[in-house]
Amino acid sequence: MYIKQVLSIILSVMFAFNANASANESRIKDIADIEGVRTNALIGYGLVVGLAGTGDSSNSVPFTVQSMVNMLEKFGVNSRADLDSIRMENVAAVMITAELPSFARQGSKLDIVVSSLGDAESLEGGQLLATPLIAADGNTYAIAQGALVVGGFQAKSGSDSVSKNHLTSAKIADGGTVERELGFDLKQLKQLRFILRNPDFTTALRIKDKINESFKEEIAKATDNATVDVQIPTRYKNYLVSAIDKIQNLKVVPDSVAKVVVDEKTGTIVLGEDVKISRIAISHANLTIRVSSITDVSQPKAPFAGGETKVVKNQDIEVEEKVGKFKEVGSNVSLSDLIEGLNALGVSPRDTISILQSIKASGALQAEIKLI
């Protein structure tokens, strides 16, 4: 009977450990990227027409007029002699941005984001004229054109107005067409290089071990804390996509450095799971100083007594101090224990920031504090 109870306890502990480890597992595709398989930023400058008087003003945005004149000249219309009479209320200069996928083919469609460059009030109802989109190398990879969709509205009545969201930014679903391919061929790769999004030596070694275990041969090697190189097995030379799919869906438990992220602007604090603190005692005190101004009128008591009536401001200063009690926090405390101790003191998030910084200065916090 005793042996059965011991075995039951051991199995329960092993099951709980395995369940916890499985819950923390992540696919390799969620924590690492393949070198070369990436998106590329595209940008372009163009004109939006068809606006209902909400476009750029001719006086304050001269480049819109120049762009319009240059565009008309391509169609044989000479309007340079009448530059002073051109009104651009229905036209707006815009910047176009898009993301080109790594294996985009000619004719593929891209989503386009259009943003006003001048002083246009709204791009609602506008039509983007054909605009080339270039990459960092200066080559044109796509052409953008289409009707704009603005995720907002604006209504005016006299001096009253109601608006929702930004009216000077719009999107065009499938508004870009790929005209030139990147030329990146996956079949030319002799090895795959996985780049960790959060570099860590332990995670890199776990990925290496998991890949070698899955393929039953030493094909992966961790070169540093952010890179794992994988030699493609001979049997997968013609099935590279299958090999990538198999590797990316392998699950590992990513490791992380104990870190406390603090946003002093909003008072937000994020503590990692591995944050530990040594045995310390914390005392927290709030000092509140209130300065109030009281306005009095000073004037002569009796008629014809002489003197002047003056306004006198008196200041009343009140100091209130709430002395906190010492709270002892035990040795090698976990995240939950730390939070429980701080909550017992009744401190606010902003006060918690100061406490954490003080604990770190004392050397009792075994974690990195990152201010953002």
Please say if the pLDDT value at position 167 is more than 90.
Answer: no
pLDDT band at residue 43 under the 50/70/90 scheme: very high
pLDDT band at residue 312 under the 50/70/90 scheme: low
Q: What b/e sequence results for 176-191 when a residue is b if at least 16 CB atoms lie within 10 Å of its CB, and e otherwise?
A: bbbeeebeeeeeebee
Task: Summarize the confidence of residues 337-341 as an average pLDDT.
Answer: 67
In tens, the pLDDT along 102-133 reads 889 999 999 999 999 988 988 988 999 999 99
What is the pTM (predicted TM-score) of this model? 0.67
In tens, the pLDDT along 18-36 reads 545 455 799 999 999 999 8
pLDDT of amino acid 315? 46
In tens, the pLDDT along 187-197 reads 777 889 999 99
CA 265 to CA 287: how far, in whole Å? 21
Contact 118, 88 (CB under 8 A): no
pLDDT of amino acid 234? 87
Please, which residues bridge with residue 333 across strands? 277
Please say if the pLDDT value at position 77 is more than 50.
Answer: yes
pLDDT of amino acid 6? 43
CA 333 to CA 346: how far, in whole Å? 19
pLDDT band at residue 2 under the 50/70/90 scheme: very low
